[in-house]
Amino acid sequence: MIKIYHNPRCRKSREGLAIVEASGNDFEIINYLKDVPGKKELRKVLDYLSLSPEQLIRKNEAIWKEKFKGKTLSDDQLIEAMLENPKLIERPIVIKGDKAVIGRPPEKIIELLK
C-alpha cells in the first residue's frame, strides 16, 4: 500500500496526490497537519527517505525563522520541532514499501511508483 503525507493546502502536495491517484494503486492519505506522526513513525519516514531530520525541514516557514533559525539543534530536537510544528515537514512524502520520496519535483513520485 502506498502512503502519501499530504497537506491539502499545498499545490505541490495536491499535484503529488493527483499522480498517486492516477497510478491506480491502493493508497492511504495521511493529512499530517491533523494526524501528526509519532516520533517512531517520523524516524521511519526519515530512514525510508535516507535523509537527516534537518533535510526534511522547510526552512522558509515563518515558525522556523522565528523559533529555530541560527540555533544548533540535535537530530532529536529537530524531530521534536517537526512534531510540535508539523508545517515544518517537507511535503508531499510518498512511501512505497521501504522506499520514499519527497514529491518535489512531482516526477520523483512517478519514478517511485514504477
Q: Would you name the residues annotated as active-site residues? A: 10
Q: Can you tell me the distance from the alpha carbon of 89 to that of 74, in angstroms, rounded to the nearest whole number?
A: 16
Cell numbers that stand for 98 in this block: 521501504
Q: Nearest CA to 15 among 4, 25, 24?
A: 4
Q: CA 78, CA 50: separation in Å to the nearest integer?
A: 16
Residue 49 is placed in which grid cell? Answer: 527517505
The identity of residue 32, as a single letter, is Y
